[in-house]
Chains A and B, each alone.
Chain A
């Protein structure tokens, strides 16, 4: 089973960009959504989902195989990725 990775991001946040770049550089496929550039009708629902997962309003919110990591934190990403000791 490959790793399942979702990145909830804001287009205005450099740490969200760094997070996506890290997964790109690590050649780990992921799904990403810039919450603030979604159409209005979707934006609230996706933002609420990210707030619920993270228990706050801080981005990025990274979900790796069901585990939630808040912030750009490669050490924690690695902990939860299979094949990297996670």
Chain B
């Protein structure tokens, strides 16, 4: 599968996952496109679409917690920011994603 096609499949697959959790793709199309492209590359290189903004440790149990969409594993933190860490997903009511702050979980 080509990268563009895989990007579209990830869009479809992830949309089904994040909607019931109260999230949607960021309305910032350029950002969404860039992030999905990174995830496709990470999936091609490492076997899973890991978060482009979180580091891996090489420990499977830890790394799978940042496999996109990682919202279920960081719910309280992401709900407080109304976005996920990399910003690919935002709460359903968000129209201006640039206004959302990015802060670590210990500041929730």
Contacts and interface: CB of A to CB of B under 8 A. Distances in A.
A–B touch (CB < 8 A): the answer is: yes
Contacts, number: 61
The A interface, classified by DSSP as helix, strand, loop or mixed, is: mixed
Interface of B: 31, 34-35, 38, 41-42, 52-58, 62, 66, 85-87, 101-106
Contacts of B53: 10, 12-16, 58-59
Contact of A73 (B38, B85, B101): B101
Interface size class of A (residues with CB under 8 A): 20 to 34
The B interface, classified by DSSP as helix, strand, loop or mixed, is: loop
Contacts of B66: 57
Contact of A57 (B42, B55, B86): B55
Interface of A: 10, 12-16, 35-36, 44, 47, 50-51, 54-59, 70-73
B55 A12 contact: no
Contacts of A50: 55
Nearest to A16: B53
